[in-house]
Chains A and B, each alone.
Chain A
């Protein structure tokens, strides 16, 4: 099941010359394909979306560009090789690629942050790196 996030600031046009207008001009066209896979048994999604919102704003993208996909059964988890909630796919690639031995499962995903700590959400710097890498590939 896929759905977009609730839009924020819908209907507002950026003022010409404003920062948001300049950011809008820099937006990739077509926009980056960003998908977040979630499982309802895990409470980590709101924290991830907060981090993602900030990272997207930095590159002039709105969080409405994100597709939310719920993974709710083992068969779907296997099919998508879903290793835990939340998982962020940028242009179809995992923003923080898991080790190849990581098994698909309906579970909360374990991330290792850059300072070595364990976290239910990716390091924001890793999110930024994945988004910027995808933008660079666009040229």
Chain B
């Protein structure tokens, strides 16, 4: 059995913990960056999970579609690369080189961010408002196997955050691969 992460998900409506992680682009990326975003999406994802891979293109399409509205996306890989080499930083760099992403791909090597956020699976999405308060937590849409859904839950949450409205369905059921925690935890 994999070791469990923290069992406590972040509370909706509260400001999320900050982080500062290295990206495959060679830069460090801080969540509480000086440049403000109208909304921010943090995606815990990885290289080897079929659910993350199946939803990947849909999430990238949302990042492209909402960039002009000042929405920032940050992808975070929290998996233990020592047991899952497909999720090593080098493998992450290779993946982004092969097909560029419209968002930084960050390495949570210590798994400290995943623990602090209570991330449990990949993919797992967090939508934050301009004040970095959590407004949506869940999956991109209802079915990883149906690309026609176009990450509808994520798009709806973003539309509502950008309009300054409460998110109508702020939490949805997660489906994905468990975060691969280090065995010593």
A residues near B (Cβ < 8 Å) are 40-44, 72, 74, 103, 105-111, 117-120
**Given A41-B2, A110-B49, A119-B54, 17 other A-B contacts at CB below 8 A?**
A40-B1, A41-B1, A42-B177, A43-B175, A43-B176, A44-B50, A72-B1, A107-B49, A107-B177, A110-B53, A117-B145, A118-B50, A118-B53, A118-B54, A119-B50, A120-B51, A120-B54
**Cβ-based interface call for B137 (8 A):** no
Q: Mark B1-45, 1 if CB is under 8 A from A, else 0.
A: 110000000000000000000000000000000000000000000
Name 24 A/B residue pairs within 8 A (Cβ), A-sorted. A40-B1, A41-B1, A41-B2, A41-B177, A41-B178, A42-B177, A42-B178, A43-B176, A72-B1, A103-B85, A105-B83, A106-B2, A107-B84, A107-B177, A107-B180, A108-B49, A108-B50, A110-B48, A111-B50, A117-B145, A119-B50, A120-B50, A120-B54, A120-B144
Q: In the assembly, what is the distance between CA of A107 and CA of B180, in Å?
A: 9
| Interface class of chain B by DSSP | loop
Q: In the assembly, what is the distance between CA of A74 and CA of B180, in Å?
A: 13
Residues of B within 8 A of A105 (CB): 83-84
Q: In the assembly, what is the distance between CA of A118 and CA of B84, in Å?
A: 19
Residues of A within 8 A of B84 (CB): 105, 107
Q: In the assembly, what is the distance between CA of A41 and CA of B181, in Å?
A: 11
Residues of B within 8 A of A43 (CB): 175-176
In the A-B complex, the 10 residue pairs with the smallest Cβ-Cβ separation, listed nearest first, are A120-B50, A41-B178, A110-B50, A118-B53, A108-B177, A118-B54, A41-B2, A108-B50, A118-B50, A108-B49
Residues of A within 8 A of B145 (CB): 117, 119
Q: In the assembly, what is the distance between CA of A4 and CA of B176, in Å?
A: 26
Residues of A within 8 A of B53 (CB): 110, 118
Q: In the assembly, what is the distance between CA of A107 and CA of B83, in Å?
A: 10
Residues of A within 8 A of B54 (CB): 117-120
A96 → B minimal CB distance (Å):
13
Interface centre among A42, A103, A107, by most B CB within 10 Å?
A107
Q: In the assembly, what is the distance between CA of A71 and CA of B71, in Å?
A: 42
Q: In the assembly, what is the distance between CA of A107 and CA of B147, in Å?
A: 23
Query: In the complex, which residue of chain A has the Cβ closest to the Cβ of B145?
Result: A119
Please provide the chain B residues from 110 to 150 with a CB less than 8 Å away from any CB of chain A in the complex. 144-145, 147
Residues of A within 8 A of B51 (CB): 108, 120
Interface centre among B2, B50, B51, B145, by most A CB within 10 Å?
B50
Interface centre among A106, A110, A119, by most B CB within 10 Å?
A110
Residues of B within 8 A of A109 (CB): 50
A59 → B minimal CB distance (Å):
24
Q: In the assembly, what is the distance between CA of A40 and CA of B4, in Å?
A: 12
Residues of B within 8 A of A42 (CB): 177-178
A104 → B minimal CB distance (Å):
11
Please provide the chain B residues from 77 to 115 with a CB less than 8 Å away from any CB of chain A in the complex. 83-85
Residues of B within 8 A of A107 (CB): 48-49, 84, 177, 180
